[in-house]
Amino acid sequence: MNSASSLMGSQGTSGSCAGAIRALTLELKGLQTSPVEGFTVTANEDNMFVWTVALYGPPGTLYQGGYFKAVLKFPSNYPYAPPSIKFLNKVWHPNVYENGDLCISILHPPVDDPHSGELACERWNPTQNVRTILLSVISLLNEPNTSSPANVDASVMYRKWKESGGKNDEYARLVRKQVEASRLDAEKDGVVVPETLEEYCIKTAPKSNEDCTDGFDLDEDYYDYGDESDDEEEYEENAEDSGQGEN
């Protein structure tokens, strides 16, 4: 690659990175001013591309009272490519790998993978954001996808629990044990975990039109993501070269 091409490539990457930072800054502000029940987010002071997430187990589920911390990492060309989520504490779940990595359709690249069993509309697209991602994760906690599990043993155990109507409670006992362990983490962090539905649901005042800056509803020129076509072409080429597919 000649020097001119190198310069153009670096400028494109820089523009994409700056656009991602602006988008993430807006999303973070929106989540802090208008929080959503079930989770809190904090951006790394030194790196906007790394966020710490605290997920609270939904009331009325096995995960009720749980406090699950995770790291959300964003690529430099976000939102054209999906972030990744890794749990920091133990989570026994069909869609969580033993190392904590989460496997969920919404975070899978939009490449053509007929063997995955996923529809293209179920995979990542640039209209998604942190809010929709984390709400999907909270839903997944209680309703796992057992058709393509990341943890086969947890998937088998979950199906036995469901099919037995709760009589085979090995899965439930393991989850509750981890929920209890997570409470210790909450105490260390000085966090009061919501237990009841009333505590879990956050009541916020309706946003005015001037406040509606969360997500991607603003004029595209405001975000200035850089050259969108270059980002998408580069992403597609990388996906083809690496054979990206399901986690």
pLDDT by position in tens, the chain (length 247): 444 333 333 334 555 688 899 999 999 999 988 888 899 999 998 999 999 999 999 999 999 999 999 999 999 999 999 999 999 999 999 999 999 999 998 898 776 665 555 666 678 899 999 999 999 999 999 999 998 899 999 999 999 999 999 999 999 999 999 999 999 999 999 999 988 888 888 654 444 444 433 433 333 443 344 454 455 554 455 444 544 444 4
Residue 62, amino acid: L
Q: How far is CA 74 from CA 69, 82, 85, in A?
A: 17, 7, 9
Task: Examine the residue annotation and report whether 121 is marked as an active-site residue of this protein.
Answer: no
> Residue 157 falls within a domain, yes or no?
yes
Position 222 scores a pLDDT of: 34
Kind and range of the H or E element at 168? none
> Residue 34 falls within a domain, yes or no?
yes
Picking from 150, 129, 6, 149, the residue whose alpha carbon sits closest to that of residue 79 is 129
Here the tokens at position 33 are 């001013």
Strands 67-73 and 84-87: antiparallel
Helix, coil or strand: residue 234: helix
> Residue 206 falls within a domain, yes or no?
no
* 177 vs 173: CA distance, rounded Å: 6
Whichever domain contains 78, its CATH number is 3.10.110.10
> Residue 114 falls within a domain, yes or no?
yes
Domain count, the chain: 1
Among 17, 103, 121, 201, the active-site one is: 103
> Residue 237 falls within a domain, yes or no?
no
Q: How far is CA 240 from CA 27, 78, 127, 236, 245, in A?
A: 30, 18, 22, 6, 10
Range of the domain at 121: 16-200
Kind and range of the H or E element at 44? strand 39-44
Helix, coil or strand: residue 167: coil
> Residue 223 falls within a domain, yes or no?
no
> Residue 123 falls within a domain, yes or no?
yes
Position 183 scores a pLDDT of: 94
> Residue 9 falls within a domain, yes or no?
no
For residue 54, which phi and psi values (nearest 5 degrees)?
-115, 120
Q: Would you tell me how many other CB atoms lie within 10 Å of the CB of residue 85?
A: 22
Position 122 scores a pLDDT of: 74
Q: How far is CA 173 from CA 141, 168, 219, 242, in A?
A: 15, 10, 49, 40
Beta-carbon contacts of residue 49 (< 8 Å; ≥ 6 apart): 20, 21, 24, 73, 74, 75, 76, 78
* 53 vs 35: CA distance, rounded Å: 13
